[in-house]
Copies of this chain bind each other. A is one copy, B any other.
Amino acid sequence: MDRMVNKFELAKAELVATPSLVVDLPTVEKNLNRLHGYAAEHGLNVRPHTKTHKSRYFAELQVDHGSYGLTVAKVGEAEVMAHVSNDILIAYPAIDPERRRRAAELARECTVRVAVDSQYGVTALAAAAEKAGSTIGILVDLNVDSNRTGVATPADALQLAQQVSQAGKSLRLDGIFFYPGQIWAPADQQGESLQAVDALLAETIALWESHGLTAGIVSGGSTPTAYQSHLVRSQTEIRPGTYVFNDMNTVRAGFCELDECAAAIICTVVSTAVPGKCVIDAGNKTLTSDRNVLHPDSGHGHVIEYPQARIVRLSEEHGEVDFAGCDALPRVGDRVTVIPNHICPCVNLQDRFYLQTPETIQTLDVDARGMLS
């Protein structure tokens, strides 16, 4: 890993407390311009997944850059993001009673769409919407390759779509939902996989049409596949999340450069007493235990000042760093800058961001943090 110019030097010097999550706003701006520019070029709507930043502020930036709506996982997040956009997709089965009830109530105030992959889900959401006097838009979740959720075949998707279309005014059939979550191949090698996804979608859409049903929205995508989305020609909108900040998962997979990482944790070296290692004040309560998706043995993040260092072990508040191969060692009290493997759950562990420009640093609450319901 090469050394990068450390744009976080101002935050390192100015912050009073560590570990702290710093976001470089000029880099966010570049990341938004790149993705939204690509989408505009290819006529794709963008509905960013707000799970990454859990913040109204960044959602507003995404809307300002032309987002068509917003994506959330949980209804608590939906309630926050409804202050920013009047078109919210809950990209998650809303099954438990509380989640359904709140989704249905929110649908009185704005457009709420939910991804569904079971008859139970359709029936339950219809009942909740009927009780709330609202209409929920339904996207039928089709399993294209992630094998996590989603019905298996176009015929199964048709069956659910028919159930939705017969549910009366509490539900509205909006289209198809998919998540190509297993595709982590280099962008220029995703073609075959994405063409298979497109073929499955096209077959499903044709089957629906032959039964008089329309998939007005075909919603898919992720950050790893974001810039190949044009290969899935049936797709009308994409839902990348991580692209706003990037992380070592997207760097090591080749989806961005290290300098396109907008978020980092500023840490303090708190111990060098054990020979051959040092300890930083970021453990798994800061960095999470998430390993790098493609390079699980690369350590728990990237230390910008010491590109050869490896964060070898995390306990809750301790990060143990191996500096073998580095030119010099940090001393107790020094600060270092860590790009996490997976930025989304890291943000969720923080109460606040430190937002930096080249001149200023200010704090911002992570206002949709938690929100497990």
Closest residue of chain B to A351, judged by CB? B370
Please list 6 pairs of residues, one from A and one from B, whose beta carbons are closer than 8 Å in the complex, sorted by A's number. Answer: A18-B98, A92-B270, A96-B281, A117-B273, A118-B273, A148-B271
Q: Mark A83-124, 1 if CB is under 8 A from B, else 0.
A: 000000000110111110000000000000000011011001
Contact present for B271 and A149 (CB under 8 Å):
yes
Interface residues of A in 304-329 (CB under 8 A from B): 313, 315-318, 320
Q: A118-B332, A152-B273, A351-B370 are in contact. List 19 more A-B contacts (CB 8 A).
A: A16-B97, A18-B96, A20-B372, A93-B270, A96-B270, A96-B281, A118-B271, A120-B331, A121-B332, A143-B274, A147-B274, A148-B274, A148-B279, A148-B318, A149-B279, A181-B315, A285-B372, A316-B344, A349-B372
- Does residue A150 face the partner (Cβ distance < 8 Å to B)? yes
The interface on chain A, measured as residues whose beta carbon lies within 8 A of the other chain's beta carbons, has a size of 66
Residues B273 and A16 in contact, CB atoms below 8 Å apart:
no
The chain B residue sitting closest to A274, CB to CB, is: B147
Interface residue A19 (Cβ < 8 Å from any Cβ of B):
yes
In the assembly, what is the distance between CA of A350 and CA of B275, in Å? Answer: 37
Kindly state the separation between the CA atoms of A95 and B288 in the bound complex, as whole angstroms. 22
- Contact status B289-A289, CB under 8 Å: yes
Chain B nearest Cβ from A80, distance in angstroms: 14
Chain A residues at the B interface, C-beta cutoff of 8 Å: 16-20, 51, 73-74, 92-93, 95-99, 117-118, 120-121, 124, 141, 143, 147-152, 156, 181, 268-275, 277, 279, 281, 284-286, 288-291, 313, 315-318, 320, 331-333, 344-345, 348-351, 370, 372-373
Contact indicator B288/A288 (Cβ below 8 Å): yes
- A116 → B minimal CB distance (Å): 9
The copy count of this chain in the complex is 2
How far, in angstroms, from A182 to B200 measured CA to CA in the complex? 51
Residues of chain B with a CB closer than 8 A to A332's CB: 93, 95, 118, 120-121
Q: Does A95 contact B152, Cβ atoms closer than 8 Å?
A: no
- Residues from chain B with a CB closer than 8 A to the CB of A51 are 316-317
Task: List residues of chain B with CB within 8 A of the CB of A156.
Answer: 273
Known: A273-B118, A281-B96. A317 touches B73 (CB 8 A): yes
Nearest chain B residue, comparing its CB with the CB of A121: B332
A177 to chain B, nearest CB (A): 12
Which listed residue (B148, B270, B281, B372) contacts A320, Cβ 8 A? B148
Query: Which chain B residue lies CB-closest to A77?
Result: B317
A260 to B156, CA, bound (A): 44
